[in-house]
Amino acid sequence: MLLDLNEDETLLKNGLEQFTEGALRPRIKPFADKHEFPTDLVKEFLALGFMGTAYDPDFGGGGLGTRGAAIVAETLARAEPGFAAIYLCNSAPMTVIARYGSDDIKRKWLEPLCRGDFIASFGVTEPSGGSDVASIKMRAVEDGDSFVLSGSKVFSTNAGTALHGVSTFVAVTDPELGAKGLSTFVVPVGTPGFTVGKAGRKIGWRIADSVELFLDNCRVPKANMVGNRGEGLKQILTTLSIGRILVGATGLGLSRKAIDLAKIYGASRKVGGIPIFQNQGLTFPLADTLTNIHAAELMIRNAACLADAERPFRLETSMAKLFATEMASEAADIALQVHGGYGAFEEFEVSGLIGEARVLRILEGTSEIQRLIIGRELSA
């Protein structure tokens, strides 16, 4: 499989690199150090239209599909993994609206999200649920021409920031149907009963706020239901599968960043008068990382192409996410080792990569969940 980008993808990558090199890299470190959401930088990014890369041009998108979205996530992560998190966590609610919403709901919410008028968050995981998305407890009770939602979600990234405009929530509409009784709703910020918890400090995604969301008798019109009643589980699983491609792409970009930092530092570092890259104990793990980066890129591209072709892609997505994120942790570790003792100091950018890489193995389904999905193929 050739990894050459087509003309549109090349233009996309070039535009992204202008942003990352001209704005993101020079200005992001103080925000990461303080665990602070970079509002002005995100506004600049939104104004460039990259949030709509994947989506239908009829609704303001760039039409480049999951392949294009993976390029965005990787390129951003090579500069700052937390910024890629802001992008991919905005992509999840956009994806569920784009794939399952009516034209009316797309006009109302997808178009302004593609324009970058505001950002969105995804409400799926609950305090007692974790990876078990079928055990959702948030309720949505039909009442006249509305649904009334009550419950809470955790780990909702982008919510509570100055740019947060809307969230999507998966809730139980028909409890007697079990997992088949879930539905998805769009809830705008400011809806009575919708409140946001305080952001916590994380070891990774330090600039991307993740919070708990609370809905207390929160009333929304029936028109805010995304797709058909009872399709929530299917919508979650498909959206998470696409999200896993983007998390894998984030791991790929982080791994490239780790190699970049290792090369820069190692090029001039000597121990006992000998350049450290003459030490096979360092160069062999770096060679393995470069090999794994190439393999991860192939896996991510393949999964994205399958998703865009509307072919089955859940297995390939799990493989790509598992491989790329596990590899990112290894890449961060060897890059820090190249720096020796200096790698432990926060003044050195490499020090933050361990935490940034580690969270990728949990989000959008842990490594264990991915192995479970892949392992099921053995008995299929």
Does the residue 1 lie in any domain? Answer: no
Q: What is the DSSP letter of 345?
A: S
* Residues 130 and 115 reside in one and the same domain: no
Q: Which domain holds residue 310?
A: 233-379
Nearest Cα neighbor of 54 from 110, 127, 101, 124 is: 110
Question: Mind listing the pLDDT tens digit of every residue in the chain (380 residues)?
Answer: 567 899 999 999 999 999 999 999 999 999 999 999 999 999 999 999 999 999 999 999 999 999 999 999 999 999 999 999 999 999 999 999 999 999 999 999 999 999 999 999 999 999 887 667 778 999 999 999 999 999 999 999 999 999 999 999 999 999 999 889 999 999 999 999 999 999 989 999 999 999 999 999 999 999 999 999 999 999 999 999 999 999 999 999 999 999 999 999 988 887 777 788 888 888 899 999 999 999 999 999 999 999 999 999 999 999 999 999 999 999 999 999 999 999 999 999 999 999 999 999 999 999 999 999 999 988 76
Phi, psi of 324 (to 5 degrees): -70, -35
Number of residues that make up the chain: 380
Question: Is residue 114 a contact partner of residue 61, using CB atoms and an 8 Å limit?
Answer: yes
Rounded-to-integer distance, Cα 284 and Cα 268, Å: 18
Q: Which residues contact 26 (CB under 8 A, 6 or more apart)?
A: none
Q: Which of 72, 89, 120 is the last residue of a domain?
A: 120
Rounded-to-integer distance, Cα 173 and Cα 135, Å: 13
* Residues 357 and 247 reside in one and the same domain: yes
Nearest Cα neighbor of 149 from 213, 90, 212 is: 213
pTM of the predicted model as reported, rounded to 2 decimal places: 0.95
Q: What is the DSSP letter of 116?
A: T
Q: Which residues pair with 147 in a beta bridge?
A: 142, 220
* Residues 207 and 284 reside in one and the same domain: no
Number of structural domains found in the chain: 3
For the chain, how big is the Rg over CA atoms in Å?
A: 21
* Catalytic residue IDs: 364
* Residues 334 and 240 reside in one and the same domain: yes
Residue 131 half-sphere exposure toward CB, CA atoms < 13 A:
12
Q: Which of 54, 85, 120 is the last residue of a domain?
A: 120
Phi, psi of 54 (to 5 degrees): -80, -15
